Amino acid sequence: MGNNKYSKTKMLQFALITAISLVIYAFTNGKNVNDSKSVANDQNEAEYANTNKEKDSKFLVDVAEINLKEIKLGQLAQQTSMNSDVKELGKMMETAHSKCMNTLTILAKKKAIAIPTVLTENGNDAYKKLSKVSGTSFDKEYCDMMINGHKAAIAEFEKVIKETTDADIKQFATSTLPELQSHLEHATTCQKKCEK
């Protein structure tokens, strides 16, 4: 009899946990609520919704995501590639984006804007995809990712330079943009060498 009562309690607990999980899933539209980008965006949206600062906060969150991804992929390139040009590109990305992340962290703190501090879902997906290939396929895929990622980042930086009214964010974007353009050139050169 006691065992039956115990199992009913366990079943009720399980049913309750399942129901709560489904409610959370419904409210988050199936998104990973623990994704560091989602968490940061939600915090900023609650604080700065419908203000100029909302766009600025989205930009800083995006830049943090870019930095974290480039650092991780740069480390992977150094570990995986057998090509010295690709290894060198990976090292450059890790160093430059680590430095950029440090500057960004100080800026975000000054502006009271939440940013991701660990690799985002997008970054994890890119890492998993890249870690499944090796040899010349890895080199090509890594260079492609660097080219596409930096083209998108440059467009975002150019947009914020034109649109932001925040002098500090404009200064950060203006001073970082030439380095991103340099990264794009390096990645393009590296890709051409890999194709030979």
Annotated domain spans of the chain: 1-30, 35-195
pTM of the complete model: 0.76
pLDDT for 25 equals 45
d(CA 78, CA 99): 18
Give residue-wise pLDDT tens across range 107-158.
999 999 999 999 999 999 999 999 999 999 999 999 999 999 999 999 999 9
Topology of domain 35-195, CATH: Ferritin (1.20.1260)
pLDDT for 58 equals 92
* CA-to-CA separations, 24 to 15, 46, 92, in angstroms, rounded: 14, 18, 41
Amino acid letter, 195:
E
| Closest CA relative to residue 70, chosen from 133, 122, 134 | 122
d(CA 129, CA 141): 9
Kindly give the parts of the chain with pLDDT less than 70: 1-37, 39-41, 43-52
Strands, E, within the chain: which ranges?
none
Q: Are 58 and 160 in contact (CB under 8 A)?
A: no
